């Protein structure tokens, strides 16, 4: 029986790894071992509960307002201890967080083959997004299997000299989870006024901390002031660099609701109800097009160009005037809205996890 360690740390990793873990559990040739670093605590636990997944190891790493070096150092040491004691046949992690980069490095130090899920995303700018682009590059050069979601991510890896033999285009596992959870039709208990057009906002990126996030807040207030038939819902990320400013700048407006991060099921139901989505999230850029919702991305670049090329996602930057202009166009121009509100799914077909499991089986037995 082979032993594959799956490492997850944050909310999006849990959402995107859950279908892989569940698919591995159904196989007779492998025993998946789950390590939760708990780089996120509450937001990770929300997802584990939804998918009924219990970690075999929980490093309980999160501390309030943690720093990148402290977290990285802690995870490297703790992962190495577990790898040394259980000697897995392979290690898997997903995405571009500190957990993923530390897992790839800890695997490399123990000479364990590492599989990178959602491989090959790049902006080409090491500082943007920070520190995720560097995490992807480091992780990509340590991986044995690169599970790329799209052809464009495959091509990014080939340009960096990664061997074609080690890259597999599988689709993104986020669509596996989205389809699974969307069909469960879990309703949100969040109270948003009926009869208003709902704008859903999420924002948490480190490169937007400070001035850029203030700009986003000013644009949001302006939109709420200008359109009485609109309501804005913002489930606020618990990072103190975001939460404190969000509540200070936005909590007193009658057409803006702030709430805690929503569980994944209710969040999908709110995405379905939304008229427009404003976000700097990676996962939301992948999910919303599949639900036919226009997304304005609060960043100046994206590592997910496919939906932008389809015309259903648009980059507006954390720039007040751009955000206001593009939201106004979508609210006032039905043609412009219809062109962006098309259901397309460039990131997957819901079968990425089974492809990944088949490739691992072929390689390992």
Residues recognised as catalytic: 96, 118, 132, 204, 206, 237
Fill in the DSSP letter of residue 300. S
Of 199, 258, 191, 194, the closest CA to residue 227 belongs to 199
Q: What is the dihedral of CA 98, 101, 106, 112, to 10 degrees?
A: 140
Please report where in the chains the tokens 């740390």 appear, as a residue: 9
Q: Which is nearer to ligand UDP, 261 or 292 (CB)?
A: 261
The verdict on 131 binding ligand UD1 (CB under 6 A) reads yes
Binding of ligand UDP by 255 (CB under 6 A):
no
> Considering the complex, what minimum distance in angstroms separates the CB of residue 326 from ligand UDP?
20
Q: Does 97 bind ligand UD1 (CB under 6 A)?
A: yes
132 binds ligand UD1 (CB under 6 A): yes
The residues facing 200 across adjacent strands are: 233, 277
DSSP 60-121: ----TT--HHHHHHHHHHHHHHHHHHH--SEEEEESSSHHHHHHHHHHHHTT--EEEESTT-
Asked if residue 305 binds ligand UDP (CB under 6 A), the reply is no
Per CB under 6 A, the segment of 38-46, 250-258, 295-303, 335-343 that binds ligand UD1 is 38-46
Please select the residue that binds ligand UD1; options are 156, 172, 239, 322, rule is CB under 6 A: 239
Residue from 28, 52, 65, 189 binding ligand UD1 (CB under 6 A): 65
CA distance 331 to 88: 53
In 3-state terms, what secondary structure has residue 314?
A: strand
User: Does residue 20 interact with ligand UDP by CB under 6 A?
Assistant: no
Q: Site residues (CB under 6 A) for ligand UD1?
A: 10-12, 39-43, 62-66, 68, 96-98, 131-132, 204, 238-240
Q: Site residues (CB under 6 A) for ligand UDP?
A: 11-12, 15, 202, 204, 235, 261-262, 264, 267, 281-284, 287
């Amino acid at each position: 029986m082979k032993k594959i360690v799956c490492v997850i740390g944050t909310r999006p990793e849990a959402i995107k790894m859950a279908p892989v873990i569940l698919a591995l559990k159904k196989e007779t040739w492998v025993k998946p071992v789950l390590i939760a670093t708990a780089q996120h605590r509450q937001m990770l636990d929300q997802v584990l509960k939804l998918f009924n997944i219990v970690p075999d190891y929980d490093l309980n790493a999160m501390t309030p307002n943690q720093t990148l070096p402290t977290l990285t150092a802690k995870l490297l040491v703790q992962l190495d201890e577990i790898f040394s004691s259980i000697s897995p046949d392979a290690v898997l992690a997903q995405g571009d967080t500190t957990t993923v980069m530390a897992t790839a490095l800890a695997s490399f130090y123990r000479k364990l083959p590492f599989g990178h899920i959602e491989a090959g995303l790049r902006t080409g700018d090491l500082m943007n997004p920070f520190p995720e682009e560097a995490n992807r590059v480091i992780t990509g050069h340590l991986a044995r299997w690169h599970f790329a979601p799209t052809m464009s991510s495959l091509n990014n890896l080939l340009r960096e000299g990664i061997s074609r033999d080690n890259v597999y285009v599988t689709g993104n596992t986020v669509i596996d989870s989205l389809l699974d959870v969307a069909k469960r039709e879990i309703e949100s208990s969040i109270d948003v006024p009926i009869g208003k057009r709902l704008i859903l906002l999420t924002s948490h990126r480190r490169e937007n901390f400070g001035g850029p996030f203030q700009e986003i807040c000013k644009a949001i207030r302006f939109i709420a002031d200008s359109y009485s038939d609109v309501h804005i819902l913002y489930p606020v990320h618990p990072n103190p660099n975001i939460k404190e400013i969000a509540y200070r700048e936005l909590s007193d407006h009658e057409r803006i609701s702030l709430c805690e991060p929503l569980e994944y099921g209710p969040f999908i139901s709110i995405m379905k109800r939304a008229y427009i989505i404003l976000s700097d999230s990676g996962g939301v850029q992948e999910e919303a097009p599949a639900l036919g919702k226009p997304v304005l991305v609060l960043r100046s670049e994206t590592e997910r160009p496919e939906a932008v090329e389809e015309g259903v996602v648009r980059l507006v930057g954390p720039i007040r005037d751009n955000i206001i202009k593009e939201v106004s166009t979508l609210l006032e121009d039905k043609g412009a809205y219809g062109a962006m509100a098309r259901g397309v799914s460039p990131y997957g077909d819901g079968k990425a996890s089974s492809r990944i499991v088949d490739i691992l089986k072929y390689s390992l037995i």
